Structure 1
Amino acid sequence: MTPRLTLRLALALATGMTAAALPAQVWRADQGDGTYRNPVLFADYPDPDIIRVGDDYYCVTTTFANAPGVTILHSKDLVNWRIATHVVDRLDGDLRYDLKQGGSYRHGFYAASLRFHNGLFYLAVTPVGHKTRIYRAARIDGPWTYRELDREAFDPALFIDADGTAYLGTSIGTDGTVTLLTLDKDLSTVTAARKTYYNKGAEGSKIIRHNGWYYLFNAIPSKLAMTVSRSRSLWGPWETKPSIDDSSGGHQGAIVDMADGNWYGFVMVDAGAIGRMTNISPIFWKDEWPWWGTPDNPDHVPARSRKPIAGHPFAEPPSSDDFSAARLGLQWQWNHNPDDSRWSLGQRPGFLRLHATQADGIWTARNTLTQKAQGPRARAVMKADIGGIRPGDICGLGTLGKYNAQLSVVGGVRGARALRMQLTGSTTAGPETQVRVPSIPIRGRTLWLRVDMDFNTSQGRTAYSLDNRRWTDVGGSFPLAFDWRTGTFQGQQIALSCYNPAPTGGYLDIDSFTLMTLPAGVQP
């Protein structure tokens, strides 16, 4: 344990500090009175698939080209979640995952499906443009290995029937034909493929079985809506009814059984610049159909409801970091596979050192360290030692997404350093950069950088301080946005970066990163 961490722990014990005494979280779904409010995850966790194993719930989510990838979260009550693991340490099979021969934003790993069978976790996922993989592990935290199938199954829905036969359901919204692939006992080979149903515009399939019925959940992206279909046989005939949509709770997800025999639904909802949030909802059954919400307000996800399982304490994915651990926290992901020779937690213990990577802008800069922004209003603060910055280095804090706002320290000749604020927008023609503030001279080594994000207004703002007390805004407000066509296909991420157009450069030492609620009354 490092001296800094030992001191913080001693202070916590001396003051009797508990989780309840910590600074306010950005968003707390658990209301502490036996109820919760939606969303349970007020951040970009798209394409959720949730399973129950005993008393534990696991949720897998899409991570695109971020590394490590394919994040799995864990909960005891469906409300309070922590990150359990990432299935993929590094993305493989494409040089673009290393930001070579172009990048892979908006590609990578989509819409995985998670199941547990005969003591093993199985996860089906299709990297964009590649064949489908079936990962497996005896423990949720791995190690995970995979076998590749002989075809690409879009948004694969892994389903294992009562007799042990495994299937993959697949459909793509530009068509809507649902095809079932039958797998062998080892879940490594497709033995048959058969079209089972046509549901116009359907994708993101999920399959469950209940009371002798098979239920097929599909997203209809063109309508931001969900349908549920049922049949006595996997091969049909199927009957379909509309379900919820983004105006009533979400459009892609399914339902999961509880240990007490009840059911809960989980669903993602498009929510603007924050990305796709996760809602949960009680499920009631009527005429052998699952309905979201309550009988007096069917197919509406409640804004607030009683917790599915009482008695579990507040938990959330980690966010703030003092970089005292030997490994990066699970909240951190690189924008693509990192160059591990260009960053370190050990070269200066207690600091994250980002060596400048060669790039002409943040969009092409490898080793940009990201984590999900959180709604509805968040403030991120980075404390850094800028003594290692060399001429040409551009190192700082900002956002990554449709709009990349960077407040960066730029290294000059003879040790001069200045702050620059620039905004890069992703367009169909490529990134377009606007320098808002070209140069603010900076003296000294210690610097605090800040980015405020208000997802109610979709606006952000950057600022800096030399003492963490007096702050100066830089560059005015900038937009926050989500765009699957030209952005990262993710909600706005927080980005720590350090790059240089030249092949040589220095480094940025990051002392701490803190994510907190944006104070009331502050308008970016």
Structure 2
Amino acid sequence: MSAPWIADNGDGTYRNPILYADWSDPDVIRSGDDFYLTASSFNRVPGLPVLHSTDLVNWRIAGHALHRLPAEHATPQPGCGVWAPSLRRHDGRFWICYPDPDHGIFLTTASDPAGPWTEPRLILAGRGLIDPCPLWDDDGRAYLVHAWARSRCGFNNRLSAYEMTPDLAEPLGPATPVVDGDAIPGCRTLEGPKWYRRDGWYWIFAPAGGVATGWQYALRSRDVFGPYEPRIVLAQGDTEVNGPHQGAWVRTPAGEDWFVHFQDLRAYGRVVHLQPMSWTGDGWPQLGDHGVPVAGHRKPMPGSGRPSAPVTSDTFPGGRPGAQWSWPANPGIGRVRPNPEGGLRLACRPGDDDLRRRPDVLGQRLPGPRLRAETGLRLDAPAGARAGLVVHGRTYAWIGLDHRSDGAYLTCRFAEAEGEAEQDAANPVAVPAGAGVRLAVTVTEPATVRFTAEIGGERWVCDPPFTATPGVWIGATLGLFAAGPGGHATFDRFLVSPLEDT
């Protein structure tokens, strides 16, 4: 089954975004003939996804570097957890530095980007330290640059750096201010630095101006600690690419330079773009088409890679969800039950009626602007149990089965502002006890959600449609859930496909 969005046009060119899903704050490196990408994951578990590509256009999920969050993430903590990471290859290993804005900067390493990754180690403690990036210089000395989160420490718009031990285990001295955004005319919310070395210059690529409204700087200096000279190298211009926000400079085996960055599309999340990169006569990088994003271009490595996108559909082999799924908090024991009959079996556990506050909603990123997702559901549980298909962010809506004291019902419900109780979006329909249903959802721009169901050969439409909203720093989530005093819900294969124009 084809994906809802494939960037590879199949003729040696690609279209942006290369990843039409919430792979936010991407960092990309090349290792040999392979490219690897990691992204922020916030409160999703597992976190720190690692994607692989051979051409910077077609990507697959290789695994995750982080399988649990700190203990306070037993329940969803929206907007917390893993913020913008950096990925590097050094001394025969892969290194990910990532921030938790409430704790500090952590390090994990691996010999293989698919894992296993080491247990995260706190290397810089403190609230508000975000967006770290290491640099190993030609003389073997190591450094780390990071930004600041106003929400945690009361200030932002500046970059600080440390000299570190070569293994990044600890700083060798106090922080040095390397860039003061307040001293750059028009600069605000400078963040997301990525550090590089080229031809005797130290380069920091960093966005400013805000996630949805900003631009991209390149800053250069002859000294690692500055002063750094800034220049705006990518901005929206007359395109529809708002932002464009933080990303990574990467070089192909042929020596061509490219830049990967994200664009905030609200409910669809922070989607990923790829820009050609060249150098001007005065030694500065030029991104996109003379500093504005391109809608498409020739592929960096024509002929490599099969048109594809990260997997979204799932047959749940062995009764387990694939790598595209995550929980909104640390997974508890027994959420997924063995199922010899095939499909995914979720336990119905008691808990909060508000699905935004439950840790057991299994979700994945919306994978394109127009899509259809469907699954079959059977609910084997007592009165008080419910299960279904949900789209959630700051608001949510779901369709599924609801077992009440007077029988089973096919139900479609929604919840608006945080804390507001669910409401029926349509009149519930009584169904035979033990009956299975097929559930479906379509998503069309601008994030318009329509639910339908089929039971006993009859189609049921939930009207009116629902408009999906983003979560806290993440896009809307497409998910499955089960809740109640006991029993379980069984979902058969989960199919995601492009929604054809009608």
SS in 2 for 1:332: coil
1:208 corresponds to which of 196, 219, 226? 196
**Structure 1 residues 302-381: aligned runs within 5 Å:** 302-311=294-303, 312-325=305-318, 327-344=320-337, 346-359=338-351, 360-381=353-374
CA offsets 1:80-124 (integer angstroms, 9 cap, x no match): 000111111122x232x111xxx3111111101111101111110
User: What is the aligned partner in structure 1 of residue 186 from structure 2?
Assistant: none
1:90 pairs with one of 68, 76, 80:
68
Distance 1:106 1:162, change over 3 A: same
Encode CA deviations 1:20-58: one digit per residue, 9 max, x unaligned. xxx432011001000000000001111000111111111
CA deviation map 1:419-469 (0-9, x unaligned) = 221112344xx3553322352111252210111111x233111110025x6
Which residue number in structure 2 is paired with residue 301 of structure 1?
293
Task: Indicate which of 99, 122, 130 corresponds to 2:103.
Answer: 130
Alignment check: 8 A CA contact 2:142 2:166 kept: yes
Which of residues 254, 269, 272 in structure 1 aligns to 2:263? 269
Greater Cα offset, 508-517 or 184-193: 184-193
Q: Is the 8 A contact 2:469 2:476 kept in 1?
A: yes
- Name the CA shift for 1:288/1:470 in 2 (closer, same or farther; >3 Å): farther
Q: 1:63: Cα distance to partner?
A: 0.9
Aligned to 1:240: 230
Q: How does 1:273-288 map to 2 (within 5 A)?
A: 273-286=267-280, 287-288=282-283
Match of 1:493 in 2: 477
Give 1:144 shift. Answer: 1.3
Amino acid at match of 2:449: G
**Which residue of structure 2 aligns with residue 7 of structure 1?**
none
Determine whether 1:389 maps to 2:381.
Answer: yes
SS in structure 2 of the partner of residue 340 of structure 1:
coil
Q: Counterparts of 1:47 and 1:517 in 2: how far apart (Å)?
A: 26
Q: 1:120/1:260 Cα in 2 relative to 1: closer, same or farther (>3 Å)?
A: same
Instruction: Find 1:230's aligned residue among 186, 211, 220.
Output: 220
Amino acid at match of 1:348: P
TM-score (norm 1): 0.87
In structure 1, the gaps of 5 or more residues are 1-22
Q: Distance in 2 between matches of 1:470 and 1:321?
A: 25
Question: Shift of residue 322 of structure 1?
Answer: 1.3
Q: Are 1:417 and 2:423 an aligned pair?
A: no
Give the letter for the 1:144 counterpart. W
Q: Is the 8 A contact 1:358 1:365 kept in 2?
A: no
CA separation of 1:356/1:51 partners in 2, compared to 1, >3 Å: closer, same or farther? same
In structure 2, what is the equivalent of residue 151 of structure 1? 125
Residue 385 of structure 1 contacts residue 509 of structure 1 at CA under 8 Å; is this kept in 2? yes
Amino acid at match of 2:143: Y
Q: What TM-score comes out, normalization by structure 2 length?
A: 0.91
Q: C-alpha offsets along residues 312-331 of structure 1, whole Å, 9 cap, x if unaligned? A: 21232111111124642110
Q: Deviations over 1:107-154 (max 9, x none)?
A: 111101111101111110112301211111111122212321242331
Contact persistence 1:221–1:251 (CA under 8 A): no
Given that 2:58 and 2:309 are in contact with CA atoms closer than 8 Å, whether structure 1 keeps it comes out as yes
Taking the aligned partners of 1:348 and 1:508, their CA distance within structure 2 comes to: 14
CA RMSD of the aligned region, Å?
1.8
Is the aligned partner of 1:54 residue 2:66? no
Higher deviation after alignment, 333-342 or 48-57 = 333-342
Q: Is the 8 A contact 2:46 2:68 kept in 1?
A: yes
The partner residue of 1:37 within 2, 9, 15 is 15
In structure 1, give the amino acid aligned to 2:369: P
**For 1:446-457, what aligned pairs fall within 5 Å after superposition?**
446-454=436-444, 456-457=445-446
Q: CA deviation at 1:166?
A: 2.0
* Paired residues for 1:498-513 under 5 Å: 498-500=482-484, 504-513=485-494
Q: Which amino acid aligns with 2:84?
A: A
Distance 2:461 2:233 in 1: 46
Dislocated runs of 4+, deviation >4 Å? 246-249
Look up the match of 2:89: 116
Q: Is the alpha carbon distance of 1:471 and 1:519 closer, same or farther for their aligned partners in structure 2, counting shifts above 3 Å?
A: farther
Aligned residues: 477
Aligned equivalents of 1:182 and 1:57: distance in 2? 28
Q: Are residues 1:104 and 2:77 paired?
A: yes
**Alpha-carbon deviations, 1:255-302, whole Å to 9, x = none?**
111111110000101113201100001101002111112xxx301221
- Give the whole-Å Cα distance in 2 for the aligned partners of 1:382 and 1:148: 41
SS in 2 for 1:363: helix
AA of the residue aligned to 2:125: R
Q: Describe the superposition over 1:449-496 as per-residue Cα deviations: whole angstroms up to 9, x where unpaired.
A: 111111x233111110025x65321132011222xxxx3321111010
TM-superposed CA distance for 1:354, in Å, is 0.6
- Cα distance in 2 between the residues matched to 1:336 and 1:349: 28
Distance 1:245 1:470 in 2: 51
In 2, are the aligned partners of 1:122 and 1:135 still within 8 Å (CA)? yes
Residue in structure 2 matched with residue 440 of structure 1 by the alignment: 429
1:190 CA displacement: 1.1
Using the alignment, how far apart are the partners of 2:375 and 2:259 within structure 1?
Answer: 37
Q: In the TM superposition, what whole-angstrom CA distance separates every residue of 1:342-382 from its partner, at most 9, and x where no partner exists?
A: 322x2334121111121222122221110111221111101
1:186-214 CA deviation, whole Å, 9 max, x = no partner?
21111122111212421111111112111
* Partner Cα distance (1:489, 1:426) in 2: 17
